[in-house]
Amino acid sequence: MKITESYSPEDRWTEDTTCLETELCLPDGIIRTGNQQDSKETGPMLLSQHDKIKVKESSNEKESAKQTNEQSTKPSEPYYSDSKQKHTLAEVVTVSTTKGVFHQLLLTSAVLLLAAACGMPIGYSAVLLPQLYDTNESLAIDIEMGSWIASVHSLATPIGSFASGPIMDRWGRRPALLLAIVPLFTGWVLLATASSHFLLLLGRVVAGISVGLIAAPAQILLAEIAEPRLRGSLIGAPFVSYSLGILLVYALGSEFHWREVAWGGTVLPLLSFIALFFAPESPVWLARNDQPDRASAALTWLRGCPIQAKQELHKLTERFEEEQQQNNGRPSPFWKSLGEMAIIKPLIIINAFHVLQILSGTYLVVFYAVDIISDLGGSDINSIQAAVLTAIVRLAFTFLYCFLLLMMPRRLMVTLSGLGSGLSCVAIAAFMYLRAGEPKAPYDTYVAAVLILIYIGANTGFMTMPGIMIGELLPAKIRGQIAGYLFTIFNLLLFGVAKGFPYAKAALKTQGLFLVFGFASFGASLLLFFLLPETKGRTLHDIEDYFQQRNWLWMNRKRASKGQSSGGEEGRPLSNE
């Protein structure tokens, strides 16, 4: 088999010698490097001294061609990409140089600072409310005001989420993030200097709007700058920082007054603004907004190799031009695109999971950590310290899940996470029902603590999924706008549930709530098991092509025959998974 891809003279390997060290996975499954020479022992090699890349035919070319022709008569079709699409070596090469990987991690680190800054206002209510319930506090509150302080952040977040889509599509992902940092800093200042309940609520609202503005652009930026093999972990990494931000505010709240904690909250927004100010823009946004030179420069910086940058830019512009041709040379109208099956299916999957994730208690346990732990452990446990411990466990498991995203299929990981979350919730509810009205035993506190930590560890897998799903499942042409609207719906639902949580707890008791958490966790596992496609190691183009199929259930997808490649970006077949 002969595969040829030509380039212009300015694209010589000599432009960047780091390209010579890039490992390439050729269609025959053998790893090549750009600085190797041809030999009989190693087979076809990459010719790095010429203006085009060639893979020479082996000595048994006729026999191989015959086998290829026999395989091509088989009726099976690939299930991830168009069966008519031809795949060249340019589509197989997707591994960045070491320098490129470092640059991707560097940009991710800037986003991680911002993610930690977003986690702090989320967890702030858990340390603010216990201090304000103290009657000696100058701004003492009752249960009604406390529920507003806890939930108004989620009410304000949709405002920012709704605006984030048009902003990042109009001005870019990075400018949208820089703009969003300003109200986050302002919100913390308002909280630190608040002299009334109104200013407390205003500070929470301003910070909530900022978090809404940040959520979608941050996830989209990481999805669009990452290569396929790293994308899952890079998109999931902000949830590590998010959990770290929650832990940080819990730890500060256990030692300092709530005003001092608010002043501390201004530090991370400042640092993240400085880091993002020097970061490049998303090459996907640049390519789709007629800025090919900047897109090429950004891709070269992110991949460490101008040859690969040219390949990726070519694919980005080619797909964009195809979309425009289908709409008479104009971009497809946003609302018209929503009627396409390739968009309806991921929207249903994402929104349904959002509902079940909220009902599984992922964020409710963050908002009301101290109250829930007090109900579970009684007076024998220090609720503030226990909340800090839950944040540590959440952080540790977020690290674990980010590592598993490199090693495990997405579907398996999230299914096991949901099963573990559901079983632990049912166990907590059963334990509380059995111990209700009974004299407190010495082991009660330990059993409750172990069960709640198991629940938090398992349920943390759900926390990483919304960002990954939004970054991977949505088509590029509507990814920016629709991501903002999805986060809007999510936060409106979260506000409603968070606002009603104290009343639901009074009616159902804590054990009843954990039963709801458990059934929602099982429901989320079933939903993703049947509907979620496996996206690990797939290009965003391949994922878009999958949703063009007629099937809804993952097990009904079109499969590739054994040994037939449908364009996997690392040179392996997209079948038998």
- In this predicted structure, the answer to whether residue 242 has a pLDDT above a threshold of 80 is yes
**pLDDT at res. 184:** 95
User: What pLDDT band is residue 2 in, cutting at 50, 70 and 90?
Assistant: very low
User: What pLDDT band is residue 316 in, cutting at 50, 70 and 90?
Assistant: confident
The closest alpha carbon to 304, from 96, 569, 89, belongs to: 96
Looking at the chain, the whole-number percentage of residues with pLDDT higher than 90 is: 23
Q: Choose the most confident range, by mean pLDDT, from 20-29, 60-69, 369-378.
A: 369-378
Of the listed ranges 70-74, 100-104, 329-333, the one predicted with least confidence? 70-74
- In this predicted structure, the answer to whether residue 203 has a pLDDT above a threshold of 90 is yes
Query: What digits encode the pLDDT tens for the residues 495-546?
Result: 888 888 888 888 888 889 999 999 999 999 999 999 999 888 787 778 888 8
Task: Please list the residue range(s) of the chain that carry CATH number 1.20.1250.20.
Answer: 98-279+332-531
**pLDDT at res. 269:** 95
Using DSSP's 3-state secondary structure scheme, residue 556 falls into helix
Query: What span, in angstroms and rounded, lies between the C-alpha atoms of 462 and 113?
Result: 21
- In this predicted structure, the answer to whether residue 81 has a pLDDT above a threshold of 80 is no
**pLDDT at res. 407:** 82
- In this predicted structure, the answer to whether residue 15 has a pLDDT above a threshold of 70 is no
Amino acid identity of 324?
A: Q
**pLDDT at res. 377:** 62
- For the entire predicted model, the pTM comes to 0.65
Report the greatest alpha carbon distance in the chain: 89
Better pLDDT: 450 or 209: 209
Query: What digits encode the pLDDT tens for the residues 448-497?
Result: 888 888 998 899 888 888 878 888 888 877 777 788 788 888 878 888 88
Point out which residues pair with 32 in neighbouring strands.
24
Query: Mind giving me the DSSP string for 260-326?
Result: HHHHHTTHHHHHHHHHHHTSPPPHHHHHHTT-HHHHHHHHHHHHS-HHHHHHHHHHHHHHHHHHHHH
- In this predicted structure, the answer to whether residue 68 has a pLDDT above a threshold of 70 is no
Domain 98-279+332-531 architecture: Up-down Bundle (1.20)
Query: What span, in angstroms and rounded, lies between the C-alpha atoms of 130 and 258?
Result: 10
- In this predicted structure, the answer to whether residue 380 has a pLDDT above a threshold of 80 is no
Of the listed ranges 58-72, 146-160, 169-183, 252-266, the one predicted with least confidence? 58-72
Query: What span, in angstroms and rounded, lies between the C-alpha atoms of 174 and 221?
Result: 8
Q: Where are the beta strands (DSSP E) in 142-197?
A: none
Using DSSP's 3-state secondary structure scheme, residue 54 falls into strand
User: What pLDDT band is residue 106 in, cutting at 50, 70 and 90?
Assistant: very high
Average pLDDT, the chain: 76
**pLDDT at res. 379:** 58
Of the listed ranges 270-284, 321-335, 353-367, the one predicted with least confidence? 321-335
Of the listed ranges 59-63, 119-123, 194-198, 404-408, the one predicted with least confidence? 59-63
**pLDDT at res. 87:** 38
Using DSSP's 3-state secondary structure scheme, residue 47 falls into coil
